[in-house]
């Protein structure tokens, strides 16, 4: 403990001294022991902030690269177009579709079978008899509560026989409409029976539309489809028939989705630049002249070396052997730029080679991905993860030392305060004790020190 000079003033003044400030002076040198610990703790916490940002940006970079290296990612996406969208509309082109051109001629559209009853004047007329639809017989009587057009339609809809029923009312009266739930020839309705109304008489049914399959040719091959939504004519492609083309061919183009690939590549470049900016930001000193938290840090240097080195790794794929052929340029500060025109040209002329350069075993994309997997916050071997764990261990030890020292200082403060309070009470009592001595002396000697004689 350092030496503290206490100034009590005159010992006989009775003023004593400030106990709290005296304790603080005495403990100041003891508390100074914590200063380097706290400085080191602050430095480690500053490193943690940078490491956290770097780890997050490395994770974003990894995700952006996966969109390019995933076999089911943007390189598998397709888009389609129709030369006559009024007659044929492209619904989707899945990852299983192949780029190419197809010629389609639509002879006729698919139709769904429907039947309609004769009209009756009163929609609430009481019905009787039976009606057989697709082999299912409805006995129309009060016991089944289906003796009106509306209740009969409800019973048909509830039967689950693949037929929908509806009551149509217009100026001619009310009719029961039946529509097959299966389009094309396979859904042709079969309706029979003897149905009549109490006031309207016999009710008959007639076909309003026959069930027919669509007829078309795809690349010269004649096919039929029970639905106007065609899914099996071109692998991975779904299209909608909207009208007959009367012999005029419709061109369907299935192409690779260059725009999504270019967007994904731009996302990768942006994410890469964020990581490089994190690294560049740790070079030199901050605005106060102090070294940046990770200045000279070996983990940071290793990350920089592996990330930049991976840009030039990987085997060639056909005509593509380096990232510059994908429109990626390297700036003086280590960041990247992307020329989408160059990338678009490479995709149009060498799509499979570009894909291979990112997805083949030993390719740029695969090696870059492997490098990133060893650099981020992944346990147990990610470089950022290991650095964070090391910092955490040191911070834990420092916090323990500071906590223990604070406990010692707190106990010491209590002891000092008690001892100095006692001393202070003694000092403050001296004047009264001196006065007692004077009174005793006067009583014994008869001398009054306050008299003038």
For residue 193, list its beta bridge partners. Answer: 131
pLDDT band at residue 13 using 50, 70 and 90 as cut-offs: low
Ranges of H-type helices in 297-382: 298-310, 340-359, 364-373
Q: What is the pTM of this model?
A: 0.68
Q: Is the pLDDT of residue 2 over 60?
A: no
Which of 216, 239, 294, 324 shows the shortest CA–CA distance to 50? Answer: 294
Q: Which long-range contacts (C-beta less than 8 Å, at least 24 apart) are formed by 395-398?
A: 395/41, 395/44, 395/45, 398/37, 398/38, 398/40, 398/41, 398/44
Which of 4, 39, 5, 64 shows the shortest CA–CA distance to 271? Answer: 64
Q: State the Cα–Cα distance between residues 321 and 301, nearest whole angstrom.
A: 27
Token duo for residue 70:
């995933």
Decide if 127 contacts 203 (C-beta within 8 A).
yes
Which of 403, 424, 89, 433 shows the shortest CA–CA distance to 239? Answer: 89
Domain boundaries, the chain: 1-7+16-77+257-425, 78-109+213-256, 114-209
pLDDT score at 451:
57
Decide if 127 contacts 109 (C-beta within 8 A).
no
Averaged pLDDT for residues 149-171: 95
Lowest-confidence region among 15-19, 265-269, 282-286: 15-19
pLDDT score at 7:
59
Q: Is the pLDDT of residue 326 over 60?
A: yes
- What does the longest C-alpha to C-alpha distance in the chain come to? 153
Q: Is the pLDDT of residue 27 over 80?
A: no
Q: Is the pLDDT of residue 1 over 50?
A: no
Decide if 48 contacts 388 (C-beta within 8 A).
yes
Which of 252, 184, 185, 245 shows the shortest CA–CA distance to 216? Answer: 245
- pLDDT tens-digit series, residues 191-242: 999 999 999 999 999 999 999 999 999 999 999 999 999 998 999 999 999 9
């Amino acid at each position: 403990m350092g030496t503290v000079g206490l100034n009590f003033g005159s010992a006989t003044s009775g003023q004593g001294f400030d106990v709290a400030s005296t304790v603080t002076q005495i403990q100041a040198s003891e508390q100074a022991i914590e200063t380097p610990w706290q400085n080191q703790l602050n430095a480690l916490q500053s490193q943690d902030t940078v490491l956290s940002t770097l780890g997050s940006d490395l994770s974003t970079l990894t995700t952006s690269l996966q969109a390019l290296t995933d076999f089911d990612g943007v390189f598998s996406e397709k888009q389609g177009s129709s030369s006559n969208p009024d007659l044929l509309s492209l619904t989707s082109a899945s990852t299983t579709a192949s780029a190419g051109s197809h010629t389609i001629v639509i002879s006729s559209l698919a139709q769904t079978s429907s039947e309609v009853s004769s009209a009756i004047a009163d929609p609430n007329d009481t019905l009787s008899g039976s009606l057989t639809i697709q082999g299912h017989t409805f006995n129309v009587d009060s016991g089944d509560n289906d003796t009106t057009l509306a209740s009969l339609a409800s019973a048909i809809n509830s039967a689950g026989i693949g037929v929908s029923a509806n009551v149509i009312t217009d100026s001619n009266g009310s009719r029961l409409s039946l529509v097959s739930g299966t389009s094309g020839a396979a859904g042709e309705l079969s309706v029979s029976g003897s149905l009549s109304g109490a006031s309207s008489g016999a009710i008959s049914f007639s076909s309003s539309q026959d069930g027919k399959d669509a007829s078309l040719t795809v690349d010269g091959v004649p096919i039929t489809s029970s639905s106007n939504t065609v899914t099996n004519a071109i692998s991975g492609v779904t299209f909608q028939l909207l009208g007959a083309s009367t012999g005029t061919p419709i061109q369907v183009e299935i192409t690779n989705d260059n725009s999504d690939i270019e967007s994904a590549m731009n996302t990768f470049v942006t994410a890469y630049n964020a990581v490089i900016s994190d690294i560049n930001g740790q070079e030199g000193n901050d605005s106060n002249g102090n070294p940046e938290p990770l200045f000279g840090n070996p983990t940071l240097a290793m990350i920089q070396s592996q990330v930049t080195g991976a840009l030039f790794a990987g085997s060639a794929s056909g005509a593509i052997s380096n990232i510059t052929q994908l429109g990626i340029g390297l700036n003086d500060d280590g960041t990247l730029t992307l020329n989408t025109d160059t990338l678009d040209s490479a995709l149009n002329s060498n799509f499979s080679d570009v894909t291979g350069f990112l997805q083949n075993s030993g390719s740029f994309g695969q090696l870059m991905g492997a490098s990133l997997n060893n650099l981020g916050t992944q346990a147990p071997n990610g470089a950022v993860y290991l650095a964070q764990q090391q910092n955490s261990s040191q911070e834990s030890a420092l916090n323990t030392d500071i906590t223990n020292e604070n406990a010692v200082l707190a106990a010491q403060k209590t002891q000092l305060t008690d001892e100095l309070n006692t001393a202070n009470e003694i000092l403050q009592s001296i004047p009264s004790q001196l006065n007692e001595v004077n009174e005793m002396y006067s009583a014994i000697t008869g001398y009054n020190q306050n008299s003038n004689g």
